[in-house]
Amino acid sequence: MIPALLAVPIVQGVVGSVVGQVANCFAPSSPASSAPAPAPTNSFSPYLSRAATAAQPGQPATATSPTGIMRADQWNQMGASDMKSWMTSLTGKHVNATDQTGRTISGVVSGVQQLGNTLAMSVGGHLVSLSQLKQVSWSPSTV
């Protein structure tokens, strides 16, 4: 009985090497398979880039993001073409526009037009001049 117990490790080694060789027969033998796997990409990179861009001073939020808020002091620093591009990008989005008295006009922006020297947007059927507002927040339309 003792000789049989001594033979167990030898049998395990032989069986293990045979199984290993059989498994290697089915493995691809191209040199590319021996190359290390590529490093996984950081799934947080896009979010970190957006956060870094948003954290830069003097960079107002744009309507290209799904949601945002812009105050009068921010859009007053924009050039005319940038302001028109920003307002046009709000078309189809739900906005909450707060005027100087604190009244909020909410709705989906259906268009932008020039009113004299200022821009206005049509919010839920109301023409709202940007010069009357102190803040605009936007989000995707749920309609």
| Mean pLDDT over each residue of the chain, to the nearest integer | 73
Question: Which of residues 54 and 130 earns the better pLDDT score?
Answer: 130
2-36+62-140: which CATH topology?
Cathepsin B; Chain A (3.90.70)
Give the C-alpha separation, 26 to 8, whole Å. Answer: 28
Residues 103-137: tens digit of each pLDDT: 999 999 999 999 888 889 999 888 999 889 999 99
- For strands 104-115 and 93-99, give the pairing: antiparallel
Residues 72-104: tens digit of each pLDDT: 999 999 998 899 999 999 999 999 999 989 999
The neighbour count for residue 126, using CB atoms within 10 Å, is 12
Distance of CA 72 to the CA centre of its chain: 25
Give the C-alpha separation, 106 to 6, whole Å. Answer: 85
